[in-house]
Structure 1
Amino acid sequence: MKPKTIKTLYWIFTALFLLAMLGDAYGGITMQRAGKDSLAKLGYPFYLMVIMGWAKIAGVLAIAQTRYLVIKEWAYSGFTISFIGAFLSWLAIGAGAAMLIPPVVMLLVMFFTYYLWKRYEQVKELGLTNTKLAGNTELA
């Protein structure tokens, strides 16, 4: 895959992922009814919505920035823990596929953005970001 293609795919999928997380964060911070209903079913306190909402905003900012790579890694880790925790929480109460599938889908989308980010970082390290230098070079 060409460096420009990797970069373009990374930013498209990352933007979609980050928009979804911002929407979820807004729902948590404003304590929307659907979130309250879900937390009541799971047996978690409602204030968790606000905490997770602000954490998701911090994670979005960390992934969107390009300077502090370790902070970006931690944000990806935090989202991973959040999605796995959501899946396991729903599984623990015997929820159906309608509740189990969304965290898995978001986890896969997030892993895809992570993969593209790491791939692009690899391309940059090899000095192939300039299309004149890269030509039709494909990474294995």
Structure 2
Amino acid sequence: MKPKTIKTLYWIFTTLFLLAMLGDAYGGITMQQAGKDSLARLGYPMYLLVIMGSAKIAGVMAIAQTRYRIIKEWAYSGFTISFIGAFLSWFAIGAGAAMLIPPTVMLIVMFFTYYLWKKYEQVKDLGLTNTKLAGNAGVA
């Protein structure tokens, strides 16, 4: 794939993922009824909605920024833990596929954006290295 194609795909899928996470964060922070019902069914305290919603907003900001790679890595890790935790929580209470599929799908989408980000960073880094090498060799 060309670097421009990788970059375009990365930003399209990442934007969709981040919008989904912002929507989920908003639902948590405003303590929407669907979230309350889910937490009650899972046996978690209601204040977890606000904590997770706030963490998701921080994660969205971390993934959207382009300067600090390590912060982005941590955000991807946090979302991974969140999705796996959601899957395992629903699995533990014997919920059906309807509750197990959403965190699985979001995990796959997130991994795809992560893969594209890493691929783009690799291509970008190689481009910078080749430019420096070409400049040192006297090639214009």
Common topology (TM > 0.5): yes
What TM-score do the two structures reach when normalised by structure 1? 0.91
Q: Which residue of 1 aligns with 2:132?
A: none
**Which residue matches 2:69?**
69
Contiguous gaps of at least 5 residues in structure 1: 129-140
Identical aligned residues as a percent: 89
- Residue 53 of structure 1 and its aligned partner are, at CA, apart by 0.2
Large movers: runs of 4+ above 4 Å:
none
C-alpha distance in 2, partners of 1:69/1:125? 13
Report the Cα distance in structure 2 between the residues aligned to 1:126 and 1:32, rounded to whole angstroms: 46
User: What are structure 2's unaligned runs of at least 5 residues?
Assistant: 129-140
Letter in 1 for 2:119: R
Q: Residues 2-41 of structure 1: matches in 2 within 5 Å? A: 2-41=2-41
Q: What is the number of residues matched between the two proteins?
A: 128
- Give CA-to-partner distance per residue, 1:2-59, whole Å, 9 cap, x none: 0000000000000000000000000000000000000000000000000000000000
The structural deviation recorded for 1:84 is: 0.1
Structure 2: distance between partners of 1:41 and 1:125:
47
- Tell me the equivalent position of 1:81: 81
Query: Residue type matched to 2:35 in 1?
Result: G
Aligned to 2:58: 58
Report the structure, 1 or 2, having the larger helix content: 2
